[in-house]
Every structure is written in structure tokens, then in C-alpha cells.
Structure 1
Amino acid sequence: MISDGYASTLKRLITFTQAKFISLADVVGYDVSYVNKWSNGTKLPSSRYVERINEEMGQYFAELITKQKKEAKFFKTFPISENTDDLGFEIGQYLCAAYRTTLNQNRVPKGKENRPSIQVVTGHHDTSAFLSDLLQKGIQSLESDGELLVLGEFCTLYKTGFWKYFEGLELQHRLTIRVGLDLDKIESNFDDLIAVYRTLDNFLDIDFVFYDIQDTSNANLIILKGAFVVQYALDTQPRFKMCTYIFDESLVGDIYEKFSFNGAEKKPLMSTVSSLGLEELGYRTAFYATTKFFFYLTIGFEFLLPHEVFDHISETVSPEQAFAIQRLCVTWEEILNASEITFIMPTTSLLRYVESGYIYLTDIEYRLTAEERKAHIKSIFEGLEKNPNLTTGVLLPTVSDGMYTGKDLSFYSNYKTGFLKKNKRNIHNDADSFYVISSNRLHSILLNAFQNMKNQPSYRQYDLEALKKKYETYKPLIERTLSLSK
């Protein structure tokens, strides 16, 4: 059980439950001045009676938590298992652990009273369980945007199961994770590249920022800004075999400053932005100023849209956005008539689009009506007829959970640079919607990987006639699906 000193632990419980000092004093049978001194650290309860005092305070705090219906928030905030049958007893034990921590701190040799608070955990299972619990509760209790520095290599940590520790988090605030990435590793090992894509696709509520592994110093540090530092050791498996947990506030701040990525010399390989910009001279305009593109689409099919869809979108946005949307309509029409473009969609994403009509067009979410989706199909056929350099392909569902079954992260490339787009409908906090790839090498690695989908047994490519034939085969099912979505 992770515990701070007695005074800070008691103060946190009092603050969380909004307990009154006089009521707490009545519960334990002491004068209110004693309780005040316990919470401000000027005095400790007598060791002879501390277990009874903690037990009675634990029961009182538990009653308040239950009465205020704050159980869920409590378990996210304090390092106590929610699978307990007696919350009062567990809080009492938590206070006892904090009492022992304070006693141990007070026993340091003379002249070393300011020794920082640390805890060492060893053994694979204990270390993994400790890290999982620490990260879950530390991140879940954030009261504002958080930043996690992971000075280690992304794929190595993936093999330890580290990224699974973030599953189930319900993030109310933004969380940015800055982590090292070994480009040699993901270029030579396709499974490692799949691990990167899969993780980004699974955690849309988290903003990952990648740095070259050389810039992370290989320090094996995990730092949650303002909360804690963990230094870890791995065995050859790799598995966690030991970690040192540091929770002294001043030391955590000092370590963060020394290892943060704030220096201009540490430029990210890939970072996040909330928007690619609809403005005339923005990133998006520069991206489309070429004649060759590759698109892996998982969030509907926002290309070759009928004019009336652009008109309807323009009616739902501000005048400035409406002008940009109309300009985009003209720009894309010119591009789609003259460029060489490869479109690839997972069939699962294609079916979802047919059912929902949802697209994330530039920075605007829109849901096509059933009639607009019918018109869109017709518009796609017309576009393919006008430009034979438009290539369309789909990826059939596969048993393996690889990058080809990702449903919420799209990839866009103009063969010089690229970006990834999250499905905004499945983002539950204020996380950014786009990953902008700054490294030419990382972009090339990703582009090659997505292009190689064409060599997969699950890939099917269709020319115009084959696509029309396929549509005729499934037309009754498509029209029935559209009729149900009205």
C-alpha cells in the first residue's frame, strides 16, 4: 500500500470527506487541539492508542464517504482497493501505514532529516501490480491536464505490458505522454510497428508525443508531473523486476525539470494538434499542394462528396468556416480529377460509415443522411470514371488483431509528409484530434507499412467496373441498411 506521512494522509482524508475537526475529536475522544496537531504534523498520536484512534477515524471517514456517495471517486483518489468488504477497516490500516512511514522518516540519522520519501518494490509480479495501481490512481486523480514523461523505449515497454496499465482510464482532463521511439526497431520489426499503431488506436483520449530514443537518455524513468517519479529496471524478457518510487514533492519537481522535453534541442518525431487548420495558408493547404496521395480511411469516406453535402455542411457552421468549406470543395474537386490517389478502407469501417453516415471532414463532424449517402455512392462512381488514377481497395476482417483492424485512426500521406487523424466521435475528453508527423523517416516507415497492405491476403482492389458489380451484389443490403438509419 502506497502511503505518505501521517499528517498529509490525515489532512487529505479530512479534506476529501469535508469532516469537521470537532466531530472527528468527538469520535476519537480527544480534544480538538490534538486532532489539529495530528493533521498539521506538529504531534503524533500515542503509539499505545494509535491503532484504536485510526480504526475509529477510519470508520467515521467511511461513513461520510458512503453518505456523500463518493465511493467511486475515493477509490480513484486513494491507494485502497475497491474490492474491500470493510472500507472503514481499510482506511484505518491506511492511516496505520502512514503512521509507520512517519516514524521511519523520523528515525533518520542526525543531519539527514530532509531525506526524500522513497519506496522500493522488487519482483516481477509485485512491481507490475504496483506500477499499474500507481499509474491508474495517479492519472485518475488528476484535477487538471497531466503530463507523463516515459524515458524509455515505447516498443520495449509494450512487450512488458506497460501500456495495458492505461486501460479502463476515464480521463476527464487531457493527458500527454512523451515517450521515446526507436526508429531502427520499428523499421526492421513489423510487429513493433503494429504495436505502435494499435496503442495509438486504442487510446484516443491520450495524446502521445514521440521522441527519438536518443533524446530520452535511456534513463528508465516514469515521471507524472507534480505527482511522482519511478525509476525502473527490466530483465531480459523484458519484464519489470524492480522500481524505486519517489514521492517527495521537491525532488519530483527537480527530476522533472532535469529530464523534461522542454528544451528546443529535443524535437518530437510526431506530436499532436487540435486542428490542421481550414485557413487558406494553413498546414492542410500545403499538404494538398501536390498530385499524389495515399489515404487509409477509418472514419467514413469524406472524399468525392456530392455538392449538396458541402452545401449542407456550410449551413451548419460559421460564415468563416462556410467559406473555407466551399473553397475546400473546389480544391478537392480539382485534386480528385487530376491526381493519383490510393484509397484503402477496412471493411469494418466501410460498413460503419454505411450505417451511420458519420464523417470527420477537416475539423467538422457531419452525419450524412440516408439520401446523401446514396448520392455519395453515385458521386464516387462518377469520380472514378473521370479519373482512372483513383485506386480503391478494402481490407477484409482478419482473425489477428493487427493494424489492419484498427477502426479509429486514419493515415493521410502526400508521399512527402503525413498525419494521423483520430475518430473524434470516440474521444471523450479534450485530447487533440491529429498527429502531425515531423520526422521524414517516421513518415516513410508508416507509408511503406500502409502501402504494404496491398500484399496482404485480406486486401481486395477494385476498378470501376468491379466496384459497380460488387455494389449491385450488395445493393439490397445497402439500401435496407440505409432505410433503417433514417
Structure 2
Amino acid sequence: MNAYGTLLKKLIRFTNIKLTNLAEIVGYDTSYISKWCNKGKLPAAKAAPNVNKCLADIFAREIIIQEEATLFAAEFNASGPYDESSLSSTIFQLLKDAYKRSYDNTSENAQLAGLSSQRMLLWQLDIKNFFVTELPQLLHQLNEPCQILCTMDICGFLKDLSYETGRQAYYTNPVHIKMGINLGGHCKNNSYIPQLYYFLNHYNDISFDFYENTCMDYMNLFIVKNCIAVQCALDKDYRISIAHIITDTAQVNSLYQKVNSEFTLSRLMIHSSDSEELFYNGYRTEFYAHNAFQIMVAKGFEFLLPPEINPRLIQAARDQGFDESMAQLVAHLGITWEEIFEKGAIDFYLLKTNLIRYITDGTIYFADVVYHMSVEERKKHIQHVLDLVQKNPNIRFFIIDDECIPNSEHLFQMSVYNNKRKLFLKNMEHYDTRTHLGPSFYTMQNETLIGGISQYFSELQSSSLCNVYGSEDVFRFYEKYGIMIDRMLSIEE
């Protein structure tokens, strides 16, 4: 165990603070802190000063509350005075020194040193190890946002990707990747659509922009600005057979500049975006100008809400620190959806596990606002859904049995909003973490891509994984399961 992990674990035991409480205050998941304590991992160098200051403040406060300052001084060989501010400074210095010793001696840095020289990888095992293990380690250690270019067609790699387990670590610094996509190459049918969706979900902390790559596919380059470049030779199955690693910074950045100009001239197909950009470039307004929708909800259910919820959402936007423009956006969206619900044709695709989670949890994501529906609000929501589908038979629900899809808990993090002319994805994980990395949205900029996704959803309706509920079916469903739903709600109440 490194010095930092040993010290951190000792401080946690001395103060007897719960790991969950510590994680909530520091702003990291408990799994990260557990790895700092037990597996020799370290906070990212850029984040370490803030993390250590926060930890020091928490421990100092607990020591003062527990009146254990004198015992702390003896246990940790620290001198007075013993007020909270002085204790915090002392603990911060202990953590800072332990971090430096651990960082200098970490085996990860020794492994990364191997990347400082140019190499030629000829064997599949070495190539896989580089892209799966060494390269992610390198990106995690960088103390600045990562800008990456990949000229190769993402569709050529999708068939070989596996998502059998969730990712063990997420990036703590922003990572942005420009990548190629060729809808006329490996994307010859709609089979790539779920794989591309799963890919974006699996790497939801990374922002991707996909460009039409027919003019640069031959380059076979992967470049991390200011860091490393990989020139690849591909076999007939589009697998990397040789990888030439370039680490000379001048060469890497020359390649980056040349290749980036090729992306600038290429057509943007899928764009990572945020709520403000989506609103001000008119994409959101144009999306709601139509009245036929396919919407797949990954978390919560922010649609068909009772009118009295809208003012509460507006107030929640203000309470959560958004400026007045967000409150206005929430108000505008509330009115827009009410009008669409009256006559519009809407196919909702709902994950079975998400539907159950919403009934018991009540969390919805409206624009950028996270709102927890009370039990009474959820009951009114259910009744309002029943009332609306009775008035508008063009609203249908398709319940997807996601439990039959392996690793589904990691592969459905993005909701899909589609009117068959405009389409965007909403990254729900962006709103459910404290780091807020990855994009808020992805907008689809290509008609062929939107058409393929629309067709895929239409075909999904007849799948064995999917059960359809029209207006009359919804009532029969509620007659059958209404008592169970009420009991689930009453447990929380």
C-alpha cells in the first residue's frame, strides 16, 4: 500500500467517519475513495490539492467535534495549536506530503515511462494491451483536458467491442474525441445502430464528435494532442494488425494540426452539445415544431406531467442555481409539451426497470433540472397519464424488457428524442454524477442516420423484447397492476 492510501485509511479510522458521508462531501463516488485507500490509486494530480483540502477540512471538523485533538497530535505526531483551522492545515500538509511520495513512487508512473519511446507493436496481445490498458492509464494521468483525433471508422470497430462489465474508472478531466464514421462503409444496415448507442452509453464521460470520414479513412491515425500518436495498419476485417507509436511531441502536434484540418473540412454527423447550445442554435425549437415523435426514456419519466408540476419545476431550476434563462426554458418546454400531448402522435419506449425505478423513486430530469416527485405528485402523474391517453389515442407505450439484455444497467444511460427529422440523445448520467463530465446531449446531423434510427425503433415494436400498450391497453394494464403500484407508492409514503 502506498503512503497516501495508508494515511487516508488511518484518518478515516481515527475519525470513524463513514465512507459514504466522506464521498458525498468530497464529491467522488465511494469506489474512488476505496481505491485510494486500498488499491494504491491516487486522485488525479490536477484535482489532488482540492481533494486534500476538502479531506483535511472534514477530518479536522470531526476531530474537534469528537474532542480528540490531543489524541490526534499523539497519534499522528503533530504539534499544536488544536483549533479546527490549524488542524486542517496540519492534516492537509500530511496528505500533501504522502501524495507526493506516492506519486513519485507509483508503479503506474513506471509503466507510463515506457510510453516515452517510439515502439512498433506487431502482436494482437500487445496491441490490445496498449489500447485497453496503457493508453487509458496515460489519459488518466494527464493534468489537462484531452483532445483526441481518430480518423478510423467507428463502425468498423463496433462489432468487436464487448461490454460484459461496467468500466472500473471514469475520467476526471474532460476528454473530447473527434472520430470518423462512414455510413456507406461498414454501416450498410441498421445493425450498427444499437452498437453505436451502447458505445456512447459505455463511454458517457467522454465527448465524441463524429465526422464523415471517406476522405481521411486511409490515414488510420489516432492522435492525442501534446502527448502521443498511433499510426495503424488494418487487416481485411478492419482490425489493427500493426501499431506504430509516436511520442515525439513535435511530430505528434504536427500530425494533430494536419489531421484536424481534415476534420474541419469534413461533414459533422453526430455532435456533442449542451443545453445552452441546443437552445440558442434553434435545434430544440425546430425539434418541437413537429407532432410525431419516438422517445425512449432511460431514466425517470418527465412527460405527460400534471400542469401544477410546471411551476414547481421552474422554482426548482432557480433553487438549483440556474440563471433565469433556464427557468424560462423549463416554462417554455412545459407549455410546448402540453400542446403536443393534446393531439400529437407519440411513441414512448420505456425500459421496464426504469419504469419500476420511477414509481419507487420519483426522480425526473426536465431540461437540466433534476426534480424528485413526491408520492402524491407521482399519483397525480399516473392519473394524468390515464386522462391524456383517453383524450389522445395517438399516444402509445412500448415497454422494453431490458432485463433480457446483458449488462443493460450500463448500456441505457441516454434518452432518445426523435421526430424523424431531428434527433438528439440526452446523457442522463451527466446529471446523475458530481463530476458532470461527458456531454449533456448528442445531436444527429445526418438524414440517413436519423432514418436508420427511426426504422430501428419501428422494427423494435415487433420484437419479443417489446410489449405495446395503446390507450385502451393502458387502462387494462392499470386495472391489473394498479393495486400493486399503489402499494409500492404507499411503502415510501
Normalised by the length of structure 2, the TM-score is 0.72
SS in 1 for 2:402: coil
Corresponding position of 1:314:
314
Corresponding position of 2:67:
none
Deviations for 1:78-116, whole angstroms, at most 9, x for unmatched residues? Answer: 2439xxxxxxxxxxxx7xx89xx9xxxxxxxxxxxxxxx
1:437 paired with 2:444, answer: yes
Alignment CA distance shift 1:67-1:415 (3 Å): closer
CA distance in 1, matches of 2:344, 2:394: 7
CA distance in 2, matches of 1:438, 1:403: 27
CA distance in 2, matches of 1:386, 1:300: 23
CA distance in 2, matches of 1:246, 1:348: 46
Alignment CA distance shift 1:405-1:465 (3 Å): farther
Corresponding position of 2:379:
374
Corresponding position of 2:301:
301
Corresponding position of 2:431:
425
Matches within 5 A, 1:4-403: 67-68=98-99, 71=102, 75=106, 78-80=109-111, 118-161=118-161, 167-185=167-185, 187-260=187-260, 264-275=264-275, 282-318=282-318, 319-397=324-402, 399-401=404-406
Alignment CA distance shift 1:71-1:245 (3 Å): same
Once the two structures are TM-superposed, the CA of residue 402 in structure 1 deviates from its matched residue by 9.0
Alignment CA distance shift 1:79-1:65 (3 Å): farther
Deviations for 1:33-86, whole angstroms, at most 9, x for unmatched residues? Answer: xxxxxxxxxxxxxxxxxxxxxxxxxxxxxxx999437647975862439xxxxx
SS in 1 for 2:437: coil
Q: Which amino acid aligns with 2:478?
A: Y
Q: Which amino acid aligns with 2:393?
A: P
Instruction: Tell me the matched-pair count.
Output: 393
Alignment CA distance shift 1:228-1:407 (3 Å): same
SS in 2 for 1:195: helix
CA distance in 2, matches of 1:244, 1:272: 30
Alignment CA distance shift 1:276-1:415 (3 Å): farther
CA distance in 2, matches of 1:407, 1:456: 18
Q: Which amino acid aligns with 1:447?
A: S
Corresponding position of 1:409:
414
Confirm or deny: 8 A CA contact 1:145 1:173 kept in the other structure. Answer: yes
Alignment CA distance shift 1:121-1:79 (3 Å): farther
Q: Which has the higher mean CA deviation after the structures are superposed, 133-142 or 241-250?
A: 133-142
Q: Which has the higher mean CA deviation after the structures are superposed, 146-155 or 158-167?
A: 158-167
Once the two structures are TM-superposed, the CA of residue 252 in structure 1 deviates from its matched residue by 0.7
SS in 2 for 1:218: helix
Alignment CA distance shift 1:178-1:237 (3 Å): same
Alignment CA distance shift 1:70-1:420 (3 Å): farther
CA distance in 1, matches of 2:164, 2:407: 16
Q: Which amino acid aligns with 1:411?
A: V
1:465 paired with 2:462, answer: no
CA distance in 1, matches of 2:363, 2:240: 42
Alignment CA distance shift 1:478-1:186 (3 Å): farther
CA distance in 1, matches of 2:291, 2:399: 22
Confirm or deny: 8 A CA contact 2:198 2:412 kept in the other structure. Answer: no
- The two structures, once aligned, show a CA RMSD in angstroms of 3.2
Q: Structure 2, unaligned stretches of length 5 or more?
A: 1-44, 46-94, 319-323
CA distance in 2, matches of 1:163, 1:193: 15
SS in 1 for 2:304: coil
Once the two structures are TM-superposed, the CA of residue 271 in structure 1 deviates from its matched residue by 0.6
Confirm or deny: 8 A CA contact 1:157 1:163 kept in the other structure. Answer: no
Q: Which amino acid aligns with 1:325?
A: V
Q: Which amino acid aligns with 1:256?
A: Y
CA distance in 2, matches of 1:383, 1:443: 28
CA distance in 2, matches of 1:127, 1:161: 15
Deviations for 1:264-320, whole angstroms, at most 9, x for unmatched residues? Answer: 422310111111568688322221112222111112221110122112111222344
Q: Which amino acid aligns with 2:130?
A: F
Once the two structures are TM-superposed, the CA of residue 206 in structure 1 deviates from its matched residue by 0.9
Corresponding position of 2:461:
454
CA distance in 2, matches of 1:76, 1:464: 61
Q: Which amino acid aligns with 1:170?
A: Y
CA distance in 1, matches of 2:400, 2:262: 41
What percent of counterpart residues are identical?
26
Corresponding position of 1:481:
488
SS in 2 for 1:173: coil
Q: Which amino acid aligns with 1:431?
A: G
SS in 2 for 1:78: helix
Confirm or deny: 8 A CA contact 1:149 1:178 kept in the other structure. Answer: yes
Once the two structures are TM-superposed, the CA of residue 472 in structure 1 deviates from its matched residue by 2.8
SS in 2 for 1:432: coil
Q: Which amino acid aligns with 1:453?
A: L
Q: Structure 1, unaligned stretches of length 5 or more?
A: 1-15, 17-63, 82-93, 102-116
Confirm or deny: 8 A CA contact 2:164 2:407 kept in the other structure. Answer: no
CA distance in 2, matches of 1:242, 1:469: 60
Once the two structures are TM-superposed, the CA of residue 153 in structure 1 deviates from its matched residue by 1.4
Alignment CA distance shift 1:326-1:463 (3 Å): same
Confirm or deny: 8 A CA contact 1:277 1:284 kept in the other structure. Answer: no
Q: Which has the higher mean CA deviation after the structures are superposed, 337-346 or 254-263?
A: 254-263
